Amino acid sequence: MTFEEGDAATAVATPSFEEVFPVLVRDAYRVAYRLLGDRSEAEDVAQEACARVYSRWSSVRDHAEPWCVRVASNLALDLLRSRARAVKRNERIAADQGTPSGASTDDRLDLYAALAKLPKRQRESVVLRYLGDLSEAQTADVMGCSVGSVKTHSSRGLAALKQELVA
């Protein structure tokens, strides 16, 4: 087998972006919807995540699915942060005007606040494993650690979330 033949064999074995796109958009939408609870925002996040995968295809094609899920979760968390800032801003405005704030506490904002309190590795592990539906091995690959570390971080993160959300 010559060098060119090896390149051709590699090119055939590696799927194109178009072949992987349906899986990428489905996984990105799923994690975004679970975090945001809004279909149109989840669709926007999924499209943006897939656009970022496409723009970096040559470097992420070997691990495109978990990378896309991670990007989608980061984008969704950014949207949740902006929602939280908007709620706080509206509460401050209402307090300054002396009127009661009509804003109710949203479960998703509670989840975001609880996730924000977790250490970074626990938060990544919980989001990738339980919101992104990645396996322990895939999560370990994305996080760059062992499967045992993923299990430890996930367990501790879930325990902390349960304690925070039940209290």
Q: Which tokens in the block code for residue 8?
A: 């051709």
Tell whether pTM > 0.85: no
Q: Which domains does the chain have, with CATH numbers?
A: 16-166 (1.10.10.10)
pLDDT at 46: 96
Nearest to 36 by CA among 48, 26, 23, 46: 46
93-116 pLDDT, tens digit per residue, is 666 665 444 434 466 777 888 888
42-96 pLDDT, tens digit per residue, is 999 999 999 999 999 999 989 999 999 999 999 999 898 888 887 777 777 666 6
CA 133 to chain centre: 10
